Amino acid sequence: MHIIQGRVRDYTWGARDVIPEFFGLPAADTPVAELWLGAHAGAPARCGVGPHAVALAAEDVRVDDAGPAASAGGAGEAGADVACPADVVSPADVVSPAGPAADLRDYIARDPEGVLGRDVMRRHQGELPFLLKLIAPAQPLSLQVHPSMEQAARGFVRESERGIALDAPNRSYKDALHKPELVYAFTRFEALVGFRSPRRIIGVLEGLGTELTDRLADLIRCEPNAGGVREAFSCLLSASRPSADAVAEVVEACRTRPAEDSPSPRADAIVGRLASFFPGDPGVVASLLLNPVTLNPGEAMFTPAGTVHAYLSGFGLEIMANSDNVLRAGLTSKYVDVPELLDVMETVAAPPIRIAPERISPVQSTYYAPVDDFELSIVNLRDATRRVKLRGAGPRILLCVAGAAEIRTASGQYCLMNTGQAAFVRADDGILQARGAGRLVLAEVP
């Protein structure tokens, strides 16, 4: 078991303050969009950081004058730090060192069977199969879709054979893996996920009275099924995509449509919001075809391969397959591979997949996703005088999001985790026991 530090991703859509302030740091002068906790080749977590390190390294967040860091704070409703009893041992004495490994990927490669366990090592080719992230969008992300395992494998080989560099801007497949994902909300979290039913889309488009929305509605009326929805969506992405003026006309129609006459005032408002960030982008109009969804703190949503989606705002935690494959559809200045996107995306109407947790013990609730790569548990500790067993095995990542907890492994190691600290647990560390007063996130392999 080792304390680890994540790696910052400074995508332009990220908030400058949300993630740093969670760790007791001032707002950054550059975006802090995500904090990756995993062993992805692009940004593996750091090992050997010492027992008192929090998961976000202060030197990774550029600020004008950071000053002394405050104690890490809680996320959303998670609460404040609560100290464990005085007899909890210091982690400096009991957490084993990571040795010369500089990062988690290197650490796993040195002993994949011991770290991952034989079953996970064989099923996932010696890789940690999940990636845990904190995510804080200050503005909408691109409309995007992730491939299935088969699509990713074909796409990766195809782009590699064409000689497209892994870091090239026109590279869609950075690896040969699928990327299903689950997001857990710390605060109110808004997104667009999956296509509405054809009848519902027509209802939203009707009454706007623009040439573009009338054309989209007619395409779906002629084929009121997934095929018609695909035609309408393709119309917004094709070479003859609508002009910026046509998009602006739809935006104005949504802005001026009276709420009492609109079948979806929320959709109309989202159009205006997206247009403020991406004026003239046809993806703004495409949002009318999609389901808006809001997660309240503590709620979770699963996004399978092929589902068009975009996160709009909020602060949450994502767990996903260990991939960085993204096919973009709009709301972006980055590369959009239209033929590949249309081949990968699923246009059958489907509501967002909200996942309710299953309470598997008095302290632990688990969100089960229908994949073999990951599952996520929330652990609420309320009794600092009694140790409780945490369900789960194999390689695990723990993140303390409120309070404090003492973690004990079957092999006899201890770790005292305070808010904002993360730990990686080896498969051969065995069953975990915990005590304290706080909240933990536990990521593992099914």
**Does 144 carry a binding-site annotation?**
yes
Among residues 46, 196, 257, 328, which one is catalytic?
Answer: 328
Of 260, 54, 446, 189, the closest CA to residue 268 belongs to: 260
Phi-psi region of 394 (alpha: psi -120 to 50; beta: other; left: phi over 0): left
Q: Active-site residue 328, yes or no?
A: yes
**Does 309 carry a binding-site annotation?**
yes
> Which amino acid does the sequence have at 307?
T
Q: Can you list the pairs that 170-176 forms with residues at least 24 positions away whose Cβ atoms lie under 8 Å?
A: 170/335, 170/337, 171/335, 172/325, 172/326, 172/327, 172/335, 172/337, 172/340, 173/147, 173/325, 174/42, 174/323, 174/324, 174/325, 175/41, 175/323, 175/324, 175/325, 176/152
DSSP string over 262-308 = -S-HHHHHHHHHHHHHSTT-THHHHGGGEEEEEEPTT-EEEE-TT--
Torsion of CA 358, 360, 362, 366, to 10 degrees: -50
Torsion of CA 44, 13, 54, 410, to 10 degrees: -50
**Does 146 carry a binding-site annotation?**
yes
Question: Would you say 142 and 330 are in contact if contact means Cβ atoms under 8 Å apart?
Answer: yes
Q: Is 271 exposed, middle or buried (0-12, 13-18, 19+ CB in 10 A)?
A: buried
Q: Which residues are annotated as a binding site?
A: 144, 146, 181, 309
Q: Which residues are annotated as a binding site for Zn(2+)?
A: 144, 146, 181, 309
Instruction: Give the residue numbers annotated as catalytic, written as ranges.
Output: 328
